Amino acid sequence: MAKEHDDTEDIVDASEELYERMSITVDRGQEPFRLDKFLTARIENASRNKIQQAIEAGRILVNNKIVQSNYKIRPSDHIIIYSDREKPGEEIIPEKIPLNIVYEDDDVMIINKPPGLVVHPASGNYTGTLINGVAYYLQQKNSAINEETLPRFGLVHRIDKNTSGLMVLAKTGKAVTSLAKQFFDHTVKRQYIALVWGDMIDEAGSLEAHIGRHQRFRKLFEAYPDGEYGKEAITHYKVLERFGYVTLVQCVLETGRTHQIRVHMKHLGHPLFNDDTYGGDKIVKGTVFSKYKQFVENCFEICPRHALHAKTIGFVHPTTRKEMLFESELPDDMKKLIDKWRNYVSTHKI
């Protein structure tokens, strides 16, 4: 299958699609043929039973719609197949980890993730992740579930370890397909709040610059404005409040690339405050006199991570088809950080 996402790094992805995906466009001369038979013949090592199960679970779409196994394909039909599992990785071990569940029903779960919590087991972080906690939570709700029968709940996007805020998880196969498609189509509403270095010139704007791995430092990502490398990435931003040496901004993601906001803001010359990966963990703007330096260091202590929060997430519910929108408050560390800068501006001429 063609893969939509490179998942080899040990840093947690921002919001990219995690499910393998392949698409087929039916030839113009194709005779009417049952979908399940067509795919069994077309996909290597695919059994008809597995194909039928995937169709029933809603993981195979024809022209963006769920159909039945006996659907007769037509010339130029567009077929999309989603994988039934996350990409291969370590076995997920249930662990008792506190979860802030904002909303839950039979199809989806909305979690407000605290900063410092890795989302998914990966190299260097096989335990103590949000997904380990979700596995434990599901086991407690259903005692019949064990490590072998634990459902592959749908992690359809991620946010970085040190980013706080809202995430949506799918609890059924059909929900996985629906949400994965919405992320792929860029219809999921995602609004972030960030404190960035510098006094931004424009009140609002959009940044379109491909994002890909740094050519030399493979754990870092870089903006490529000419589109010569990486994947398309679009961020819309708006100034919320100015503090002279730093600016509070709202960022709306149109795409969801790894470290997208962090990389785009750095590319604009405004790295996130205290972002130790992209140069925001030192004094970027302002003087270096002792009192100001001490003030900034105190700010770093108040918010010992990059100042980024996933405030809003919105999507169409997989079953009811109703618009769902969730918002979260800024966490205490960012609230205190913003208040400290606000007080500084009110007592100093900048």
Q: Are 272 and 306 in contact (CB under 8 A)?
A: yes
Residue 160 among the catalytic residues: yes
Q: Are 4 and 21 in contact (CB under 8 A)?
A: yes
Structural domains of the chain sorted by starting position, each given as residue range(s) with its CATH number in brackets: 22-81 (3.10.290.10), 101-178 (3.30.2350.10), 189-347 (3.30.2350.10)
- Note the pLDDT of residue 251: 97
- Note the pLDDT of residue 20: 53
- Note the pLDDT of residue 131: 87
- Note the pLDDT of residue 226: 87
Average pLDDT, rounded, for the chain: 85
Question: What is the Cα gyration radius of the chain?
Answer: 22
Q: Tokens at residue 13, please? A: 């992805």
- Note the pLDDT of residue 153: 58
- Note the pLDDT of residue 141: 83
Provide the whole-model pTM: 0.78
The closest alpha carbon to 232, from 262, 206, 209, belongs to 209
Q: Which residues of 247-269 are buried (b: 16+ CB within 10 A; e: fewer)?
A: bbbbbbbebbbbbbbbbbbbbbe
- Note the pLDDT of residue 333: 97
- Note the pLDDT of residue 1: 31
- Note the pLDDT of residue 144: 61
- Note the pLDDT of residue 265: 97
Q: What is the pLDDT of residues 90-135, one digit of tens each?
A: 567 888 999 999 999 999 999 999 999 988 876 666 788 898 898 8
**Which residues, 6+ apart, have CB-to-CB distance to 77 below 8 Å?**
25, 26, 62, 63
Spot the catalytic one: 160, 275, 333, 339: 160
Q: What is the pLDDT of residues 138-162, one digit of tens each?
A: 888 876 665 554 545 577 888 999 9
Rounded Cα distance, 169 and 155, in Å: 5
Q: Tokens at residue 289, please? A: 């006199």
Full pLDDT tens readout for the chain, 350 residues: 333 333 323 233 333 444 456 788 888 888 888 999 988 888 877 788 888 888 887 778 898 888 888 999 999 999 888 765 444 445 678 889 999 999 999 999 999 999 999 888 766 667 888 988 988 898 888 766 655 545 455 778 889 999 999 999 988 878 888 888 888 888 999 999 999 999 999 999 999 999 988 877 768 899 998 888 888 999 999 999 999 999 999 999 998 888 999 999 999 999 999 999 999 999 999 887 889 999 999 999 999 999 999 999 999 999 999 999 999 999 999 999 999 999 999 888 77
What is the DSSP code string of 76-130?
Answer: T-EEEEE-SSPPS-PPPPP------EEEE-SSEEEEEEPTT--SS-BTTBSSSSH
Q: What is the pLDDT of residues 297-308, one digit of tens each?
A: 999 999 999 999
